Amino acid sequence: MEEGSAERPASHLEQDFEILRRACLDRGELFEDAAFPPGPEALGSLDADAENIHWLRPQEICPTPRFIAEGATISDICQGELWDCWLLAALSSLTMYRRLFAHVVPEGQHFGASYCGIFRFRFWQYGRWVEVVVDDRLPTQHGKLVYASSSARHEFWSALLEKAYAKVNGSYAGLRTGKIVEAMEDLTGGLGESHPVSPGDSNRLWSAVRSALAAKALVACFLKSKDPAQVGRVNSEGLVMGHAYAVLGVDSVTVNGSRVRLLRLRNPWGYQEYSGSWNDCSPEWNAVSCEEKQRLRLQQEEDGEFWMSWCDFAQCFSNVEICSLSPHGGGATGWALATHEGRWVPGCTAGGCRKFEGTFWTNPQFRLTLCEEDDDDSDDDEDGLEGRGDVTCTVVVALMQKNRRVLKRGARSTFLHIGFSIYSIPPEASQVLASCSPSRAACPPRSSRRHDASTRAARLRTRAR
């Protein structure tokens, strides 16, 4: 079994959990992680006043700490002062799938008799699964956690997972701002897609979201703010600008003979809910039967979870993020997955964008042949959007930028502007290309100037496309 697979994750920084744990038990000591010690470097650039941050173990925060109390649930994830809603929204979705959650958060961890201050988590990183160990010293102020926490003060798995993810990305500051699909992929090994929300194309997007949730994909959404000064502020409808939300489910109810499409969302803050139509206390629910409300698990609580209509959603939100699972992530079937490693090297493969006609062709090129059409999945669709007889072969292409969070400096990200172009090869050119074997001269070893990237292509044989 290959190291780095889902069944045999590689040890991050060569720190083996069992070896470290046994050594601590033999010595009767609590684990102290020398690879990610508490202090300003672990915080990164977040806190100039780092001396007011006190690193405490859970038993110093509450008398009876629990790793997971009564099962992992969405309410275990509450955002702190770190702007990592993109991570926590993805994590909220992960708690809905027990098997996926158990892979990222291995079972058997606790504060019981064999506790020695060490915990482990698993993340997918650029084609490999890695197991990350951390000690349980967490940043606090006035005896309370500064960053992620649980609504139950004695539960600590979400805070420890956030610390492990910060370790992978260099510091807590490395988690400040990001894209939801990035976290989704790191938690599942799946392939993420970002769909702009357009009221004119709402039927197709509704079908995609519904199909994705039925296939147990992770789904989240984002509310873009045109004014950077408005990020983090609550608008007139109770939604947070520049914020990520988890999409927990979709459904519909019939009111006065008309069907209303609904989505169930969750704010990673654990509070601050939507105040428009179909919110928890909205009068629209008066026209819905008690049985329907019970089926939809409607709860009038300030827990960050709420319903809203699809029409209102399409007017408010800017993007929907979907992460479908790959076979290597222990998820869905029907994939054919390929990964290609590449880099842009100045003077060799860094050809620039399309406006540089003389050098654009020197960029890394990958030829993809789609040999099999999608499975026939034209079952009855409630929206009348079933297949129209077109032959399709679906492919999803994703481009990853490696290790940029670790190299992040200050509050601004050092992510580079990269991309790819896809061209259709005319049938008459296929035979010519088939007889050609592209070759390129060896590139000079200028590793300090290389921009690593990973391109993955997969064919997804479901209707969620």
| Arithmetic mean of pLDDT, 432-450 | 49
Band of residue 45 on the pLDDT scale cut at 50, 70, 90? confident
Bridge partners of 320, per DSSP, are 195, 221
| Rounded Cα gap, residues 63 and 464, in angstroms | 47
Quote the pLDDT of residue 313.
Answer: 94
Task: Give the range among 36-50, 206-220, 338-352, 381-395 with minimum mean pLDDT.
Answer: 381-395
What distance lies between CA 37 and its chain's CA centroid? Answer: 26
Residue 316, Ramachandran bin (φ over 0: left; ψ between -120 and 50: alpha; else beta) = alpha
Which position has the higher pLDDT, 453 or 249? Answer: 249
Smallest Cα–Cα separation from 268: which of 95, 43, 90?
90
Band of residue 444 on the pLDDT scale cut at 50, 70, 90? very low
Let me know how long the chain is: 465
Q: Is the pLDDT of residue 464 over 60?
A: no
| Rounded Cα gap, residues 407 and 162, in angstroms | 18
Phi, psi of 448 (to 5 degrees): -70, -15
CB 211 within 8 A of CB 463: yes
Quote the pLDDT of residue 47.
Answer: 56
Band of residue 272 on the pLDDT scale cut at 50, 70, 90? confident
Tokens of 52: 């007011």
* CA distances (Å), origin 336, targets 318, 339, 341: 30, 10, 17
Which residues carry out catalysis? Answer: 85, 243, 267
What is the pLDDT of the chain when averaged over all its residues? 83
Q: Percentage of the chain surpassing pLDDT 90?
A: 43
First to last CA, the chain: 32
Task: Give the range among 3-7, 262-266, 372-376, 410-414 with minimum mean pLDDT.
Answer: 410-414
| Rounded Cα gap, residues 15 and 131, in angstroms | 9
The string of DSSP codes covering 136-182 is S-EEEETTEESS-B-SSTTB-HHHHHHHHHHHHTTSGGGGSS--HHH
Smallest Cα–Cα separation from 401: which of 418, 413, 385?
418
Whether pTM exceeds 0.85: no
* CA distances (Å), origin 199, targets 160, 202, 206, 258, 313: 40, 5, 11, 19, 9
* DSSP secondary structure letter of residue 107: S
Quote the pLDDT of residue 255.
Answer: 86
CB 411 within 8 A of CB 426: no
CB 188 within 8 A of CB 217: no
Smallest Cα–Cα separation from 100: which of 110, 90, 109, 108?
90
| Arithmetic mean of pLDDT, 344-364 | 92
Q: Is the pLDDT of residue 334 over 70?
A: no
Band of residue 73 on the pLDDT scale cut at 50, 70, 90? confident
* DSSP secondary structure letter of residue 19: H
Quote the pLDDT of residue 400.
Answer: 81
- The amino acid at residue 45 is S
Smallest Cα–Cα separation from 398: which of 304, 326, 317?
326
| Arithmetic mean of pLDDT, 206-232 | 87
Which structural domains are found in the chain, ordered by start?
10-175 (no CATH), 191-323 (3.90.70.10), 334-465 (2.60.120.380)
Tokens of 177: 């701002």
Quote the pLDDT of residue 445.
Answer: 41
Which position has the higher pLDDT, 45 or 178? Answer: 178
